[in-house]
Amino acid sequence: MLWLPVLVPIIGAAAIFAWPSERRIGLGAAGVAVLAATLALSVLAATQGWNAALEWGGPLRLIAMLTPLSSIVAILVPGVALAVVLYAAAHEAERGLRRLVALMVAFAGAMELLVVAGDFVTLLLGWELVGACSWALIGHRWRDADVPASANDAFVVTRFGDLGLFLAGMACFAATGGFAFSSLAVMHGPALGVVAAGLLLSAAAKSGQVPFAPWLFRAMAGPTSVSALLHAATMVAAGAFLLARLWEPLHEVAWFGPATMAIGLATALAGGIVGFAQFHAKKLLAASTSAHFGLMFVAVGAGFPGVAVLHLVAHAAFKAPLFLSAGVAEHAVGSYDLRRMRVGRAVPWTAAVALIAGLALAGLPPLGGGWTKDAIVSAAEARQGLPLALAVILAGGLSAAYAARFVTLGFGLGEKHQLTSPRAAERVGLGLFAVATLALSLLWLPGVEAATARLLAADFPERSGTGLLLSLAFVVTGLVVGVRGVRIEFPGWIAEWFGLPLLIDRLVVRPAVRFAESLAGVDDRLIDWGVAWTSRLAGVIARLGDNVGERLADLLPHGSARAVSMTGLKSMKLQTGLSHHYYLLIAGGGAGMLLLLFLWR
């Protein structure tokens, strides 16, 4: 039964792709209906404890199962996708809209497969499908210059990280003879270290962590709704989710926690600086995504995967509407340059949603984003003491600064632009996320916090009043700096990830492309050559067979005719009209009969 939340969106995506109409309302209704069904099935699966397994043969067994943490994410994915598809059907260009909606629904199905995976084979199937869907969605406007190259670059970088997942799966099989996640519990020593290293590599690449973070900028070539889905609940979320899902066996590796925290903290701080230095709305949000997933890495490394998953949920609730509101503003001014926006007067509803989501991004209490960020501060303090907690607090202050820059420049009270108001479906999609963001404020209530801990079967760190006050002070300072310093400009190399794109291009993208081209050359020279010569040989044999067949087919009738003709000619020669010839034939025939009778006896 647990395969249903996976199969329904994938089959539904195929049906939408074959949909005969390009009308927005029909595509939107179909996409929302499929995702609503998926959401309902996910809720049933989580509450009823569904599990599933498919015997593939030998040691290959596809396992689908839910844990308390993965149940929350399994519900989150179709919920976010539903609101985003509702917005996309009304907002995005009509050209290719059917393909876009179908791919977004399939994207949700692929992520569901990744979330319910209980073994490395199933995980790899979902992981690769997520990567393929993201490549197709980023390259949706493939007719535009640079879009295909951007999609390819993002795909290559994440594929490089995927090698770690293959390595982890092979190490698990070599050590235990199986691929199930449960096998990791009996692993130890170097083999488990290899699994941890492979998973950390693949998770860091997928979730846009240093040094792989720049691929998220390349992914901004996709439509706004794609960016919202990508960053909120699908591909970018996959890495942090995977580490939280497998934290139990991985934390046995001594270096795993410190390494995960180091990667996450470095990304949170660097991403905060890059985000504040950006004037491109979507790139600012992309940098903030790297930074906040970095905070999730810190929570996992500190030993609190439940806190990481809750921040993933809160992040999805406020990041998706920020991207969607950026799309509305871009429609108004024709650019993602924040310095040209200030569309608050023109789209007050969108501006209000952006303000709520922006304050949650800043981590301002009593919003849910503030609770989860404070929980990460407490987790860092519980694991490494005040220095690590202060570093996380600083990352939170940077988050407040770039959130203030985004909201102030993007949706400040500038001149009233002449534009068509967002459609009702766009407003509903944005409103759903605003409600979710506000609802997460309930986490501040002690009873709700305790119930959430029981629901997730997770431990939450003990809160520190000093840490909360320090965090709040940094958030307020960041907001003030963000508002007052909206015109501050940074050097381009800072805004573009400190030169990391060039490094990634030189060390990952170009070598991978050259290697692929060399393999393509081998394919052209050897495999294509073999296929071509096999085809030619088959043609020669066919022609020979054709000639031989014709001759054999003609032999029987022509041969019979010739035999009859020759027999007739020979028989005519026996009729000579001479009596002594006939007597001789009679005598010969009689002698032959006597000989046969003698031999018979």
For the chain, how many residues are written?
601
Structure tokens at 356: 């709520």
| Per-residue model confidence (pLDDT) at position 556 | 62
What are the CA-CA distances from residue 191 to residues 170, 217, 253 (Å)? 10, 35, 10
Q: What percent of the chain has a predicted confidence (pLDDT) above 70?
A: 89
The residue extents of the domains of the chain are 125-495
Cα separation of the two ends of the chain: 85
Longest CA span, the chain: 143
- Non-local (6+) Cβ contacts of 144 within 8 A are 221
| Per-residue model confidence (pLDDT) at position 414 | 73
Q: Which residue has the higher pLDDT, 59 or 244?
A: 244
CA neighbor of 134 nearest in space, from 99, 103, 113, 163: 103
Measured distance CA(576)–CA(66) in Å, rounded: 105
| Per-residue model confidence (pLDDT) at position 91 | 87
Structure tokens at 319: 């990041």
Measured distance CA(412)–CA(389) in Å, rounded: 33
Confidence bin at 60 (pLDDT 50/70/90): confident
Q: Which residue has the higher pLDDT, 491 or 406?
A: 406
| Per-residue model confidence (pLDDT) at position 232 | 92
What confidence tens digit (pLDDT) does each residue in 263-291 have? 999 999 999 999 999 999 999 999 999 99
Give me the chain's average pLDDT, please.
88
Measured distance CA(64)–CA(49) in Å, rounded: 11
pTM: 0.86
| pLDDT above 70 (res 420) | no
Answer whether the bond into residue 366 is a cis peptide, omega within 30°: yes
What confidence tens digit (pLDDT) does each residue in 101-124 have? 999 999 999 999 999 999 999 999
| pLDDT above 70 (res 361) | yes
SS3 61: strand
Phi-psi region of 503 (alpha: psi -120 to 50; beta: other; left: phi over 0): alpha
Lookup result for tokens 């979320």:
237
What are the CA-CA distances from residue 536 to residues 223, 408, 528, 549 (Å)? 47, 69, 12, 20
Amino acid making up residue 501: P
What are the CA-CA distances from residue 526 to residues 519, 522, 538 (Å)? 10, 6, 18
What confidence tens digit (pLDDT) does each residue in 371-399 have? 999 999 999 999 888 899 999 999 999 99
Measured distance CA(41)–CA(37) in Å, rounded: 6
Q: Give mean pLDDT, residues 499-528.
A: 73
| pLDDT above 80 (res 326) | yes
| Per-residue model confidence (pLDDT) at position 569 | 63
What confidence tens digit (pLDDT) does each residue in 293-320 have? 999 999 999 999 999 999 999 999 999 9
Phi first, then psi: give them for residue 593, nearest 5 degrees.
-65, -45
SS3 62: strand
| Per-residue model confidence (pLDDT) at position 537 | 79
Q: Which residue has the higher pLDDT, 466 or 258?
A: 258
| pLDDT above 80 (res 322) | yes
What confidence tens digit (pLDDT) does each residue in 12-52 have? 999 999 988 788 899 999 999 999 999 999 999 999 988 88
Beta bridge partners of 60: 57
Q: What angle do CA 556, 557, 560 make, to 5 degrees?
A: 80
Q: Give mean pLDDT, residues 420-430.
A: 87
Is residue 217 a contact partner of residue 231, using CB atoms and an 8 Å limit? no
The mean-pLDDT minimum among 140-154, 245-259, 533-547 falls in: 533-547
| Per-residue model confidence (pLDDT) at position 94 | 80
Alpha helices in 385-525 (DSSP H): 386-411, 424-439, 446-456, 465-484, 492-495, 500-504, 510-522
Is residue 344 a contact partner of residue 416, using CB atoms and an 8 Å limit? no
Q: What percent of the chain has a predicted confidence (pLDDT) above 90?
A: 65
Q: Which residue has the higher pLDDT, 490 or 515?
A: 490
| Per-residue model confidence (pLDDT) at position 600 | 64
- One DSSP character per residue, 10-51 reads HHHHHHHHT-S---HHHHHHHHHHHHHHHHHHHHHHHHHT--
| Per-residue model confidence (pLDDT) at position 580 | 57
| Per-residue model confidence (pLDDT) at position 482 | 93
Q: Give mean pLDDT, residues 556-567.
A: 66
What confidence tens digit (pLDDT) does each residue in 527-561 have? 766 677 777 777 778 777 666 656 666 666 666 66
| Per-residue model confidence (pLDDT) at position 567 | 65
| Per-residue model confidence (pLDDT) at position 508 | 76
Phi-psi region of 461 (alpha: psi -120 to 50; beta: other; left: phi over 0): beta
Structure tokens at 125: 């199937």
Q: Which residue has the higher pLDDT, 71 or 558?
A: 71
| pLDDT above 90 (res 243) | yes
